[in-house]
Amino acid sequence: MQISDEKFYKNVGKILKNKRLEKGLKFTIFCYENDIAKSSLNLIENGASQAYFSKIARVIQALDMSFEEFGKLLDREISKDFFKGD
């Protein structure tokens, strides 16, 4: 995984974790109620691996976020030259 990939997934995880905490949703309960494996959410929230988009999409949906809202939050997190040089 390239450095920009690592940064990208860390930003994705940060957004999703912050949104979950903002909504007051506890990790284990959130996973159970939305049929998301704890190991998967842990990896996503910590940006530890390249998560499948389908898993990320499932978390976005479980947080009652639109893809547009998620995209706007992600756009704010990454710099304009984030992918230059890839």
Q: pLDDT tens string for the chain (86 positions)? A: 565 788 889 999 999 999 999 999 999 999 999 999 999 999 999 998 677 889 999 999 999 999 999 999 999 888 666 666 55
82: in domain:
no
pLDDT at 83: 61
Assign residue 35 a region (left: φ > 0; alpha: ψ between -120 and 50; beta: otherwise).
left
37: in domain:
yes
Phi (first) and psi of residue 58, to 5 degrees: -65, -40
83: in domain:
no
Domains contained in the chain, number? 1
Q: Report DSSP letters for 13-79, one per residue.
A: HHHHHHHHHHTT--HHHHHHHTT--HHHHHHHHHT-S---HHHHHHHHHHTT--HHHHHHHHHHHS-
Query: Residues near 20 by Cβ (< 8 Å), separated by ≥ 6?
Result: 27, 30, 45, 63
19: in domain:
yes
16: in domain:
yes
Tell me the residue range of the domain where 58 lies. Answer: 3-77
pLDDT at 84: 61
CATH of residue 43's domain is: 1.10.260.40
18: in domain:
yes
